[in-house]
Amino acid sequence: MSESNLVELNVTGMHCNNCALSVHKMLEKKGLKEVHVDFANEEVKFSNAGELNLDGIIKDIEGLGFKVYENEEIPQEGFFAKVENKFIFSLIFAVPLFSHMFLPFHWLHNPYIQLALCLPVFILGLSYFGKSAINSLRSGVPNMDVLIFIGFTSAFIYSLTGTVLNLGPDYMFYETTAVIITLVLLGNVFEKRSVSQTTSAIKDLLKYQQVKAIRLIGDEQEVIDSRMINSGDTLLVNTGEKIPADGDIIWGNASVNESLLTGESLPIEKNKYDSVIGGTVVEQGSIKILATKVGKHSVLSQIVEIMKRAQSSKPPIQRLGDRVAAIFVPVVVSIAVLTFVLSYLIFDVQLGESIMRSIAVLVISCPCAMGLATPTAVMVGLGRGAKQGVLIKGGATVEEMANLKYMVFDKTGTLTTGNFAVRDIQVFDLDMAEAKSLIVALESYSNHPIAKSLVAELESDKMKRFIFTEVNEVKGMGIKAIDADGNQYEIGSSKIVQPETDIDGFDVFLKKNDQLICKIAIEDELKPEAKNLIDLLKERKITPVLLSGDRKEKCEFVAQKLGIDTVYSEQRPEQKLQVIDSFKKKGTTAMVGDGINDAPALTTSDVGVSLGNASHIAIQSAKVILLNNDLNSVITLLKVGKHTLITIKQNLFWAFFYNIFAIPLAALGYLGPMLAALAMACSDVVVIGNSLRLKIKKLD
């Protein structure tokens, strides 16, 4: 979605997926593209290449019964704008009205007293549920409020007719009208608070951005809001303070807690020229930083945006719930009409009782439970993953991870640390100590990862020192040097030795005056958690695959150590694509990588998983980012995917089972309208509560 055509609106009043569906359908009818409606985060986004009548679009959204705010700061709500206050207001009238059924006060049985008590609640119901119901019918996506509106309006009109015509107590159902409205409002209160908890992960991240900053201007210090920071500002951060923006340290050093992003509780030492991320905490020390990325360009803002998109994207399993919810209201209205016809005309049930049965059918039905089943579970699951350093970009990824058949790994930097260890050294015509000294002396002139690893492992204080009069690094070959005595040295890959040289199992070669004097075998250092991950994949019947551009011997050595049976070595980026495609034909396939050469494979796979220290293009190509660069995060990803899908299935089962079980009971007269309203409110709470359980549930 291009920034130039992107429109973002804050929309309040959407309380379930059905509400979001009505806004989505209306915007699509207007020809808008890339429509994105998120009821939980109260956001509506869309783009359009042509002329855009934004005022007209806002008016149409508000015409559906919602409120649009173009800025992020939503104004203070009025008293009756809050559903909690609507509930309290209706409860004040509903309690005395309902109490006439068991209190011995004759005046409470007076039909006009009951009408007076019911009327304020009925008017409130008309303004709240009626407006929403009518607007949803106009949009072509009837919502739950249609059922509620028909139910309490039928009870009120029936009762009002009995009062005006003086037909007696059999026509008095004012308490049914008031209690239905009150209980449904109670359910909305629970629903609103529960849904807000499902989005707590995003809210927690947003809080990290809302800090004060100390801006330095010459010798002056100015305390400002973090939103006022500009790129290039110099900021002072002291012990215990949050870093207010992404930047580079230009003075000082500090221990920084980055658990916000990585889940790692141990602080990381930061020195001059190191990068820091906004929202992380300085545990000890003072630093001055130069702000580099602010506002929407900061790491934290981009993570929040990814999470918002991910939480509102639909996994395939949600399509079933959406299809049912879309036709649910007309079906339930038909069942209610059929209930009345069969009860009154066929089975000789009294008129009042027949109407009450029909009303109970309308009220007890709950498409909201089906609409909430998937998004609430996805929100909580993705939020839990994010708090453990696993950033999942799409809700559909959750289902794909739960159904995974193959997981393909790059080698260097993914299964291995990127560092190298010496496995064997063979020397000719010199002793081992002198060979090690010579290797360190020559490789210290190179920045190649292998050279750095050799220097780090072999260097010691007792080493012999060599003085070179000339040193050159030849790209793709190695280091050439000449010492004070005129001896020529060369260290590098197999390209520097004669073709007939026995190089089997060796990687680095050292020559003196064109004579081979040392061979070095190196091995990739495996990540300590790699073996545990591979074993877990096998337990879950997920086939691990090694796919690398490295040499065959290297790949097979790593695969043998980890227990990976399927190995593809010496693969170019385009060949990696072909391998991924072949596995996708056999089952859902994930690719884990970190390099630029992995980006095409990450994009092609069903689920691309990128490490947080990966190249920028690899991160952009992936559906999942492991912020703490730890393969244990892949285990977390698998567990979050599995348990989120389990929760979705449980929610959908409850939503369908509830309606299949409850509607016949209401139709047969076993559940009155008031009990039906209470059961309907509880169904939403059960679904959301089950989703919230995912926050604290032990993931196995």
The reply to whether 38 belongs to the active site is no
Give the SS3 label for residue 323. Answer: helix
Mention every residue, 6+ apart, whose C-beta is less than 8 A from residue 441: 465, 466, 468
Read out DSSP for 492-528?
Answer: ESGGGS-TTS--TT--EEEEETTEEEEEEEEEEEE-T
Average pLDDT for residues 34-62, to the nearest whole number?
79
- Could you give all domains of the chain from N- to C-terminal order, each with its CATH number? 6-76 (3.30.70.100), 81-199+307-377+647-695 (no CATH), 230-293 (2.70.150.10), 378-416+527-642 (3.40.50.1000), 418-526 (3.40.1110.10)
Average pLDDT for residues 447-457, to the nearest whole number?
83
pLDDT tens digit sequence for 515-568: 999 999 888 788 889 999 999 999 999 999 999 877 788 888 899 999 999 999
Closest listed residue to residue 333, CA positions, set 600, 72, 544, 147: 147
Report the pLDDT value the prediction gives residue 79, as an integer from 0 to 100. 67
Q: Which of 38, 145, 246, 410 is catalytic?
A: 410
Between 152 and 449, residue with greater pLDDT = 152
Exposure string for 534-552, b = 16+ CB within 10 A, e = fewer: bebbeeeebbbbbbbbbee
pLDDT tens digit sequence for 473-526: 876 678 999 998 899 999 988 888 888 888 877 889 999 999 999 999 888 788
In 10 A of CB 582, how many CB atoms? Answer: 12
Please report how many Cα atoms fall inside a 13 Å half-sphere around the Cα of residue 79, on the Cβ side. 3
Q: For the chain, how many residues are written?
A: 700
Q: How far apart are CA 423 and CA 419, in angstroms?
A: 13
Report the pLDDT value the prediction gives residue 319, as an integer from 0 to 100. 63
Average pLDDT for residues 339-346, to the nearest whole number?
92
Q: Band of the pLDDT at 611, cuts 50, 70, 90?
A: confident
| Its pTM surpasses 0.95 | no
Report the pLDDT value the prediction gives residue 476, as an integer from 0 to 100. 64
Q: Band of the pLDDT at 74, cuts 50, 70, 90?
A: low
Report the pLDDT value the prediction gives residue 317, as an integer from 0 to 100. 63
Q: How far apart are CA 242 and CA 222, in angstroms?
A: 16
- pLDDT above 90 as % of the chain: 25
Q: Band of the pLDDT at 299, cuts 50, 70, 90?
A: confident
pLDDT tens digit sequence for 170-208: 778 888 889 889 888 887 787 677 666 655 556 666 666
Q: How far apart are CA 172 and CA 100, in angstroms?
A: 11
Q: Are 464 and 433 in contact (CB under 8 A)?
A: yes
Residue 51 pLDDT greater than 70, yes or no = no
Q: Are 22 and 138 in contact (CB under 8 A)?
A: no
The rounded mean pLDDT for the chain is 83
Phi, psi (rounded to 5 degrees) for 283? -80, -30
- pLDDT above 70 as % of the chain: 86
Residue 627 pLDDT greater than 90, yes or no = no
